[in-house]
Chains A and B, each alone.
Chain A
């Protein structure tokens, strides 16, 4: 959404820092799909797809696509060693049972309480929730990657979401093109900022109260 590839990779790289060896991770479409490119080579992660893949690998080379091996967005993928296929009920069993360690997704709005609104714009865009509600509600950790502001320049991090919720109090970490916020019962904690932004810039574009970490990490990649 109007974000250059360098910025998209910056967000993906920061999200990749959250992933550890052996985790089961579900990636949304868009920027989250760039995350695997930023993982260290010495760890093995099982990427989970709602359509029944555990151990999803990168896109195949052109000409090597298999029409019956696609991700939840309908694009061809591959399977990594140890990967498996299952039906949709089993794919969601993994989600609802809390086996998925991390879900990384985009959002339209996130509130200071960690409410997520990413599935509907009433009267305009009503695509349906897909698997977003289960993922947001049941994944152990929910990471949102999004633009800090919408196309009109309004903050997407707000006191209260104006759009219908996907799930309340579910987001753990918000990574935007400006900064990284940790969500807890106390609200948002600003702990990291991307260069060259400063605190004043970040706060002026954030629509709710934010606590400041004692030390704020400056991310320069």
Chain B
């Protein structure tokens, strides 16, 4: 296969983008749709002090949870940490800062970051200061809204079913979840794809993420963890 845009590469080549103290955004929901090969690479490289942005902290040995449960993160911005007991433990001990955002608002904050908007106005979660504390309020058309800031990251990591040479992506069933949003919000977006196909072999009508948002594509070695239901 050609590599006309130079986007198709290897895990070894993209590992240079993962550095201590960086902000890393990840696709996935409970580990489903999180890129296993890239996460294993980051873990092996020994990257520390990460700020992680994504739906949840996975399970201890599933998805991004692998990094969280091994103490590689100093901060997470997520909607849920309940399936990874290590995250809760470290939060209570003070070694992990957790910023909770309601799930759909988190998705919109990531989307805003990806579509060039500075933030969104929301009416979700006014009954809990975890959501509203320290955030500006805006009155619009007689109603109050909280300003939720957009989220971006130095690097976004994404899991796709298929990618072509240009980085056009399609996803697999519920493994899509936050991936199309995360793919747009990274300064550098790195995709792990189950299958890499030549230009023109994806039906343009079925492409979910246009390749303009994608910088690099690496082949997936497949899921390297055991699911909770197995």
Contact = CB atoms under 8 A, between A and B. Distances in A.
Interface string A49-77: 11111000000000001111111111110
B152 to A, nearest CB: 15
Interface stretch (B9-17, B38-46, B103-111): B103-111
B81 interface: yes
Interface stretch (B67-75, B123-131, B138-146, B211-219): B123-131
Nearest to B106: A88
Contact of B177 (A51, A66, A79, A120): A51
Interface in B90-124: 91-92, 98, 100, 102-105, 107-108, 110-111, 123-124
A128 B174 contact: no
A165 B132 CA distance: 13
B112 to A, nearest CB: 10
A74 B130 contact: no
B42 to A, nearest CB: 21
B173 A127 contact: no
Contacts of A172: none
B30 interface: yes
Given A128-B78, A166-B127, A87 B176 contact: yes
B168 interface: no
Contacts of A134: 102-105, 124
B86 interface: no
Interface residues of B, number: 51
A88 B100 CA distance: 16
B79 A137 contact: no
Contacts of A50: 103-104
A195 interface: no
B83 interface: yes
16 contacts: A51-B29, A52-B176, A53-B174, A68-B172, A69-B174, A70-B174, A70-B229, A85-B176, A87-B208, A89-B108, A95-B104, A96-B124, A125-B88, A128-B80, A129-B130, A134-B105
A-B residue pairs, 8 tightest by C-beta: A92-B104, A127-B82, A74-B30, A68-B175, A131-B103, A128-B80, A88-B107, A68-B172
Interface of B: 29-33, 55-56, 59, 78-83, 88, 91-92, 98, 100, 102-105, 107-108, 110-111, 123-125, 127-128, 130-131, 161, 171-181, 208, 223, 227-229
Interface of A: 49-53, 65-76, 79, 85-89, 91-93, 95-96, 115, 120, 123, 125-131, 133-134, 137-138, 164-168
